[in-house]
Structure 1
Amino acid sequence: MVLFKHTLSAICLSLALVVADPQCITHNETFVPDAVLRVSTSNISQPCYPSKSTVLVNGTSPGPELRIKEGITYWIRVYNDMTDKNLTMHWHGLTQAMAPFSDGTPQVSQWPIPPLHFFDYEINVPIGMAGTYFYHSHEGFQAVSATGPLIVEEDRVPCPYQYDEDKIIFLQDVFTKDESTIEAGLVASPLSWSGETGMILVNGKGGGSANGTVCNASLSIIDVQRGKTYRLRFIGATALTFASLALEGHDLEIIEADGHSTQPHNTSFLQLGTGQRFSALLHTKPNPEKSTYYLQLESRERPTLTRGFAVLNYGPKPSTPFTPPSQPPLTLPNTTLGFLDYQLHPFLPPKDGSFPTAQDVTRRVTITVHQRVSGQTVWIENHYDWTTAFPAEPYLVSLYKNDSIEFPSMERALANNGIDPISRAFPAQIGEVLEIVIQNTGADAGGLDIHPFHAHGAHYWDLGSGNGTYDATTNEAKIAASGPPIQRDTTMLYRYAKSTANGTDMGWRAWRLKITEPGVWMVHCHILQHMLMGMQTIWVMGNETEVLGKVKRPDVQGYLEYGGSVYGNENRWPSVVHFTDNEEGDGWSDYQ
């Protein structure tokens, strides 16, 4: 379901609000947002589990599909209809540099939306970033259910691939506990674990098995016709599951990863970590041997196995629901370390100078991740965590107010492996070319885990991964031999054993990024449990003037207080800053 308004008044209003510089504008009764999301809680039953309180978007989980076009400014109104919970909405994978308060991160870019309030998010996707994304709450553990697909369509540059239709494969986890109980346990001392995934859902449905228990719930159906080509958009919106999946009797042709078109790459299976997205072409059979085939999914790198299914249906609509097979039709491979590393390449060769070479790198920063068990169990990066106890208010808000956190010091950061220990932030200067290495290490208790690392604010050139400690010379030779990498926003930090000595380096992931846009952005593991346990940090791109100078404090005063004037409610219209021009015209005419 696409939630866009198509009224003449909306078109006129959009044209009237094109602005050259950031301005504060009241969104009163004449303002018509492009889409509306209403977030609430309800006691619902999920496959094979009893009813529990669940956070929903427009009454469902996953929430409705949103489709927008690159190069056009949209406003998405998000209502927090909950009476006792805060909320934000993050647009996963979108580079929100143009609208810094709209990234949806409550510890970084904005105060959360208070109960019974709403917030208007400003979104403008740059030309060239059409692809597969999703939205989710960034508050607590809500993203386990408060989430939905977000598709960015091409505007001026057509999609390089031809297909008859696209279909979304949206993966989620189900847990026996509700999100509030899980969140409380993860920050407790001692730790109270969430439990393992009870079921993997495909488009909101799921059946299979978990921990040896069989679930015969009805399955999602992916209807196809013979001899056609479908674009399957795989979205890893799971909280914990690192999935291995394949389609019975069919191979896939990868054409996109995290919003970037790739050279075609054939594969018989996919690995999909939380936060990752792939598009793959499915060429259906002209003469299928049977009318239905299974999509099979399994969890990897967890102490127990969760297996789920969906159905690829060539036949007519069934009169009764499809349920899981009595025996799995596929034997899925174990974890492939470095899956697709050095194998995916941009659809078009990078323009001269766009992919920074090793000679361009001005600084290397290593983010060392480690699990500390001393009282409360936390994940730390370069000896510091980032939890609900720190910071006391959103980081960008603090910088504007110049109160609880000072602007990060480059001098202190250079003396402390890239992080400023006072602000716990990683600063970077505009024009720098950074090589960011994320280093996995053995925990206090010796354990190792996997981590899908996600960067807000900008997509990075992914340089691959490996065991041990990063060796730049060796890795550069691999890149030279394989070809230029693609840009991503979420990639896997693997483990190469289940345990090792405390603090031992065992696994790395490397990125390369040219700092061009000022802003304050999160970098974090996208496993929700790890994020709540402190596995997140902040990058501040640019100096104080560059970060805070785009719009002055008086104009953003409404963003600086919890429940400030940018948050509307039944008694007040919000007064918000319009950061971006709508250079391509209005956002409604394309949906007439």
Structure 2
Amino acid sequence: MRGLLPTLCLALGLVTATQGLLVRHDNSFQPDHILRVTAQNYSQACMERYSVLVNGSSPGPELRLQEDKVSWIRVYNDMEDSNVTMHWHGLSAFTAPFSDGTPMASQWPIAPGHFFDYEVRPEVGYAGTYFYHSHVGFQAVTAAGALIVESAQPSPYKYDEERIIALSDFFAKTDEEIEDGLTSANFTWSGETGAILVNGQGRLATNATGSCKLAAISVKPGKTYRLRFIGETALSFVSLAIESHDVFEIIEADGHYTKPVKTSYLQISTGQRYSVILKAKTEAELRKAKSRQFYFQLTTLGRPTVLTNFAVLEYPSHIATDLTTVPVTPPLPVANITYGWMDYTLEPYYPDLNFPTSTEVTRRIIINVHQNVSTHIVWLQSGYDWMVTFPKSPYLVDVYTGKLDLNASYKRAIASGYGFDNQTRLFPAKMNEVLEIVWQNQGAVNTGDIENHPFHGHGRHFYDIGGGDGLYNSTENEKRLNGTHPVTRDTTVLYAYRTETMPLTPSGWRAWRIRVTDAGVWMMHCHILQHMIMGMQTVFAFGDQAAIIAQSDPVDEGYLTYGGSAYGNATYHPLVQHFFDVHEQTV
């Protein structure tokens, strides 16, 4: 009956844009973008590696979407033996219910030889810088690409051109080797990042020689540029500055315009994005500098070993830019981590009257985060890890089929005193609650080790209300918030403040506030891929079954089974629900 309902409504002439119009995506349907995922040998940093690629390259093609416009993005899984999904990082709440791209949370993954049509509609006010990536295992180390949401309205900031600067990591081990090592009882670390790549290019070592080229970002003298920085790294937390270009002006963070903030450097964790205004040197300044090329200096932060890599900012001329020489001595001081960088400083460009005050908070959830060693090395939140092997079917599927009782889960979570239901490993919430979510860093059970964690929230963006050392103190933080205007983000850093302490001793916190307005199943996790694979993920369920189904209406059965009829293949055209728009072709 559930699968027939949309068709029945159509026959009765009752379908609206939100009732899930059922459409056969045959040869007459043309998606707006097509991404084909393959696994093959691929050269980066002059090294061959078996990698997962999007449209044959890493990074994959740049996608551009429009605010308030539906885009259909078809993702083909052309791999022979691996699943894939595609996540639209930062746009989670603005997709159809099964389009978030989180396997075993919001959808069945795309089986080998199949494809899935993702429906994405960015809301007005979310023009900015995003990216897409696979959410399966370690695939996102290479299977990722820039996603830009464009506005119909002019930018509040004036610039002549823009450049995308995507940061990624290189690992010599394959995805399979890394995943097996991290999840084995005979634990084997992935190794540290071999290189920080810029737009897929880079060198393995700062003093390497040979023909392997650095990335070049070209600018024209006297022009003003918007540089869009995207943290597509798997592990690296990067400090970035440009030789002889001392002033950046931050204008965007995670897809939202900010009031301008001047800085001489950026700290970019995996998952974060920033736009900055850069005023290129004039011809007179270039003559004075006696150079037309300058180094981007990128340094890893908070890792056992410091890696410094480079790219080149070039002012092209008749003399070819040297992209093979790497400075033996870095031209800038090697950066150290700045704890709390830009906390309480960034403010929204447009007035935001929706920020929930402390008096509006209905519930505070404190999530203790630490590493534990038992039969495996795992990362725990509230005493539990979460891996895609835990649920037997995706949570969202179980909500639609009635197998998951979110009301009962909510009661158990409240009774626990922590807001966590250990039976389902969910953090459930009711619609219209205002949550204060506190990520509390702790020393590892066995060693006291602590690390930095960039936490990413799916669903609607959260208000970041800061971070600090030690144990979270709401009274003291309210004093710091006084007179500030928190921005909405989707990825912020839980700092460690030290490398080790006593086991389970608090050492750093990060706090968010969220209005529960978008019913669904939403991942919240550390965006370091190794930590995710080792269990550092949580799942929030916003709303009960009635609220989730009311937001999208019942769905066709093809979404509820692995390889179901919502997933196409070479011999079958998928039957797809249009949750946001009404297509002319119907069943």
Which category describes the TM-score, using the shorter chain as reference length?
over 0.9
Give the C-alpha shift of residue 398 in structure 1.
1.9
In structure 1, the residue matched to 2:476 is 474
Q: Pick from 235, 248, 252 the counterpart of residue 252 of structure 1.
A: 248
Q: Pick from 260, 265, 268 the counterpart of residue 264 of structure 1.
A: 260
Q: Pick from 264, 270, 275 the counterpart of residue 271 of structure 2.
A: 275
Q: How does 1:14-163 map to 2 (within 5 A)?
A: 19-49=17-47, 51-155=48-152, 157-163=153-159
Q: How does 1:171-182 map to 2 (within 5 A)?
A: 171-182=167-178
Return the letter of the residue paired with 2:72: W
In structure 2, the residue matched to 1:206 is 202
**Counterparts of 2:310 and 2:95 in 1: how far apart (Å)?**
40
Gaps spanning 5+ residues in structure 1: where?
Answer: 1-16, 586-592
Give the C-alpha shift of residue 521 in structure 1.
0.3
Contact 1:408 1:427 in 2 (8 A): no
- In the TM superposition, what whole-angstrom CA distance separates every residue of 1:437-456 from its partner, at most 9, and x where no partner exists? 00000001210011000000
Give the C-alpha shift of residue 213 in structure 1.
7.0
- In the TM superposition, what whole-angstrom CA distance separates every residue of 1:282-305 from its partner, at most 9, and x where no partner exists? 011112222011101011111112
Deviates more, 1:134-143 or 1:391-400: 391-400
Return the letter of the residue paired with 1:132: T
Q: How does 1:433-472 map to 2 (within 5 A)?
A: 433-444=434-445, 445-472=447-474
**Counterparts of 2:40 and 2:322 in 1: how far apart (Å)?**
25
Q: TM-score with structure 2 length normalisation?
A: 0.92
**Counterparts of 1:370 and 1:392 in 2: how far apart (Å)?**
26
- In the TM superposition, what whole-angstrom CA distance separates every residue of 1:75-110 from its partner, at most 9, and x where no partner exists? 000111111111000000003355110000002111
In structure 2, the residue matched to 1:8 is none
**Counterparts of 2:317 and 2:408 in 1: how far apart (Å)?**
61
Instruction: Give the fraction of aligned pairs with identical amino acids, expressed as a percent.
Output: 52
Give the C-alpha shift of residue 402 in structure 1.
3.2
In structure 1, the residue matched to 2:524 is 523
Return the letter of the residue paired with 1:328: P
Give the 3-state SS of the residue equivalent to 1:549 in structure 2.
Answer: helix
**Counterparts of 1:142 and 1:407 in 2: how far apart (Å)?**
35
**Counterparts of 1:318 and 1:204 in 2: how far apart (Å)?**
24
Return the letter of the residue paired with 2:356: P
- After superposition, the Cα gap between the structure-2 partners of 1:343 and 1:370, relative to the gap in structure 1 and judged at 3 Å, is same
Contact 2:194 2:204 in 1 (8 A): no
Matched, 1:327 2:324: no
Give the 3-state SS of the residue equivalent to 1:184 in structure 2.
Answer: helix
**Counterparts of 1:400 and 1:284 in 2: how far apart (Å)?**
54
**Counterparts of 2:332 and 2:582 in 1: how far apart (Å)?**
49
In structure 2, the residue matched to 1:13 is none
Give the C-alpha shift of residue 116 in structure 1.
1.1
Give the 3-state SS of the residue equivalent to 1:52 in structure 2.
Answer: strand
Return the letter of the residue paired with 2:79: M
Give the 3-state SS of the residue equivalent to 2:498 in structure 1.
Answer: coil
- After superposition, the Cα gap between the structure-2 partners of 1:174 and 1:407, relative to the gap in structure 1 and judged at 3 Å, is farther
Return the letter of the residue paired with 1:372: N
Contact 1:364 1:435 in 2 (8 A): yes
In structure 2, the residue matched to 1:218 is 213
Return the letter of the residue paired with 1:285: K
In structure 1, the residue matched to 2:570 is 570
Give the C-alpha shift of residue 237 in structure 1.
0.2
**Counterparts of 1:18 and 1:167 in 2: how far apart (Å)?**
40
Deviates more, 1:559-568 or 1:214-223: 214-223
Contact 2:299 2:335 in 1 (8 A): no
Return the letter of the residue paired with 1:31: F
Return the letter of the residue paired with 1:128: G
Gaps spanning 5+ residues in structure 2: where?
Answer: 1-14
Give the C-alpha shift of residue 476 in structure 1.
1.1
Give the 3-state SS of the residue equivalent to 2:568 in structure 1.
Answer: coil
**Counterparts of 1:41 and 1:374 in 2: how far apart (Å)?**
34
Give the C-alpha shift of residue 364 in structure 1.
0.6
**Counterparts of 2:337 and 2:318 in 1: how far apart (Å)?**
35
Give the 3-state SS of the residue equivalent to 1:415 in structure 2.
Answer: helix
Give the C-alpha shift of residue 320 in structure 1.
6.5
- After superposition, the Cα gap between the structure-2 partners of 1:214 and 1:199, relative to the gap in structure 1 and judged at 3 Å, is farther
Give the C-alpha shift of residue 326 in structure 1.
2.8
**Counterparts of 1:18 and 1:309 in 2: how far apart (Å)?**
52
Give the 3-state SS of the residue equivalent to 2:205 in structure 1.
Answer: strand
Give the 3-state SS of the residue equivalent to 2:569 in structure 1.
Answer: coil
- After superposition, the Cα gap between the structure-2 partners of 1:407 and 1:47, relative to the gap in structure 1 and judged at 3 Å, is farther
In structure 2, the residue matched to 1:169 is 165
In structure 1, the residue matched to 2:389 is 389
Deviates more, 1:279-288 or 1:447-456: 279-288
- In the TM superposition, what whole-angstrom CA distance separates every residue of 1:375-424 from its partner, at most 9, and x where no partner exists? 11111110111113311221111222234776652221112201111111
- In the TM superposition, what whole-angstrom CA distance separates every residue of 1:167-226 from its partner, at most 9, and x where no partner exists? 00000000010111111111111311111100110011012627x877872111111111
Contact 1:91 1:134 in 2 (8 A): yes
> How many residues are aligned here?
561
**Counterparts of 2:88 and 2:208 in 1: how far apart (Å)?**
35
Give the C-alpha shift of residue 358 in structure 1.
1.0
Give the 3-state SS of the residue equivalent to 1:100 in structure 2.
Answer: coil
Contact 1:378 1:533 in 2 (8 A): yes
**Counterparts of 1:226 and 1:503 in 2: how far apart (Å)?**
54
Return the letter of the residue paired with 2:461: H
Give the C-alpha shift of residue 501 in structure 1.
1.0
Contact 2:406 2:428 in 1 (8 A): no
- In the TM superposition, what whole-angstrom CA distance separates every residue of 1:528-551 from its partner, at most 9, and x where no partner exists? 000010000110111220013344
**Counterparts of 2:267 and 2:549 in 1: how far apart (Å)?**
40
**Counterparts of 1:148 and 1:18 in 2: how far apart (Å)?**
33
**Counterparts of 2:558 and 2:396 in 1: how far apart (Å)?**
13
Q: Pick from 208, 232, 241 the counterpart of residue 237 of structure 1.
A: 232
**Counterparts of 1:425 and 1:317 in 2: how far apart (Å)?**
60
- After superposition, the Cα gap between the structure-2 partners of 1:95 and 1:171, relative to the gap in structure 1 and judged at 3 Å, is same
- After superposition, the Cα gap between the structure-2 partners of 1:185 and 1:478, relative to the gap in structure 1 and judged at 3 Å, is same
Contact 1:208 1:214 in 2 (8 A): no
**Counterparts of 2:296 and 2:492 in 1: how far apart (Å)?**
23
In structure 1, the residue matched to 2:11 is none
Return the letter of the residue paired with 1:449: E
Q: How does 1:332-371 map to 2 (within 5 A)?
A: 332-351=334-353, 354-371=354-371
Return the letter of the residue paired with 1:470: Y
Contact 2:239 2:265 in 1 (8 A): yes
**Counterparts of 2:372 and 2:480 in 1: how far apart (Å)?**
34
- In the TM superposition, what whole-angstrom CA distance separates every residue of 1:515-537 from its partner, at most 9, and x where no partner exists? 11111100000000000100001
Deviates more, 1:320-329 or 1:452-461: 320-329
Return the letter of the residue paired with 2:237: F
In structure 2, the residue matched to 1:187 is 183
Q: TM-score with structure 1 length normalisation?
A: 0.92
**Counterparts of 1:21 and 1:547 in 2: how far apart (Å)?**
13
- After superposition, the Cα gap between the structure-2 partners of 1:230 and 1:291, relative to the gap in structure 1 and judged at 3 Å, is same
Give the 3-state SS of the residue equivalent to 1:101 in structure 2.
Answer: coil
Contact 1:399 1:407 in 2 (8 A): no
